[in-house]
Amino acid sequence: MSEEFSATTLLLIRHGQARASDGSYDENTPLTELGHRQAAQLADALASGTRPVVVYSSPYPRALETATPLCQQLAVRPSVDPRLAEFQLGTGSFESIQQRLDLIVWRPEHRGVENGETLGEFSARVVAFCNEVVEQHPREDIAVFAHSGTIDAAIRWALGFSSDSLWQHEFPLATASITEIQFWPHGRIRGGAPRYSVMQRIGDVTHLGGLYSEI
């Protein structure tokens, strides 16, 4: 029988619905009332089922606010990591940012804003985070509160896409959704693939019930 190696389970959670009172949407945008309700329901679901031992969060308020109810139930403090911040697409109203032509930003050298990081640089920092946490937490369940772009980059990492590969697809990730990846950083069995991942679920919202919101 082949020797099996240890895996880490990543629970990648998109923040709850967020919107500022003036309609703006940027790195400081907080959760809406619905977003706070989503965060509470998410915490109840995770605390009563899969209980993560560590919680990581993007530094953005909407991610930290989503993480707070779970951290309170688990009696842990979130580890804030700037590598989980969203790819910059500029500031303005949520509607104006939504109307950006996504196909303009698809090559690794493309930038979302002038003088901002490239897609390749963004991908590389997310990859660095993922590689680090799976080494630090073998056989553990890890909750990561972040953003749709960050989670897209993490899925690409799990599937073996390099940081300099083209961005020609995306994943439907509603607010407060859960993407669960079981990852073996050194392969699943001796003699098998050098790294291995199982996509347990992508953008799961069954825990939200009537609190579902795409944005």
Domain ranges in the chain are 8-211
* The predicted structure's pLDDT at residue 101: 52
Q: Give mean pLDDT, residues 136-151.
A: 97
- Between CA 215 and CA 213 the distance in angstroms is 6
In CATH terms, the superfamily for domain 8-211 is Phosphoglycerate mutase-like (3.40.50.1240)
* The predicted structure's pLDDT at residue 51: 85
Q: Is the pLDDT of residue 151 over 50?
A: yes
Instruction: Tell me, yes or no, if the pTM score tops 0.95.
Output: no
- Secondary structure (3-state) at 198: strand
The structure tokens listed for 95 are 């509607």
Q: Is the pLDDT of residue 103 over 80?
A: no
- Asked if 185 and 10 touch (Cβ cutoff 8 Å), the reply is no
Tell me the C-alpha to C-alpha distance, in Å, between residue 127 and each of 58, 100, 160, 161, 195. 14, 25, 10, 10, 14
Tens digits of residue pLDDT in 31-79:
999 999 999 999 999 998 888 999 999 999 999 999 999 999 999 999 9
* The predicted structure's pLDDT at residue 1: 37
Bridging pattern class, strands 8-14 and 178-184: antiparallel
| Percent with pLDDT over 70 in the chain | 92
* The predicted structure's pLDDT at residue 199: 98
* CA angle 129–113–59, rounded 5-degree value: 35
- Asked if 57 and 64 touch (Cβ cutoff 8 Å), the reply is yes
60: amino acid identity, one letter: Y
| Residue 97 CA, distance from chain mean position | 19
- Secondary structure (3-state) at 103: helix
- Which position has the higher pLDDT, 65 or 105? 65
Q: Give mean pLDDT, residues 76-84.
A: 97
162: amino acid identity, one letter: S
> What's the pLDDT band for 99 if we cut at 50, 70, 90?
low
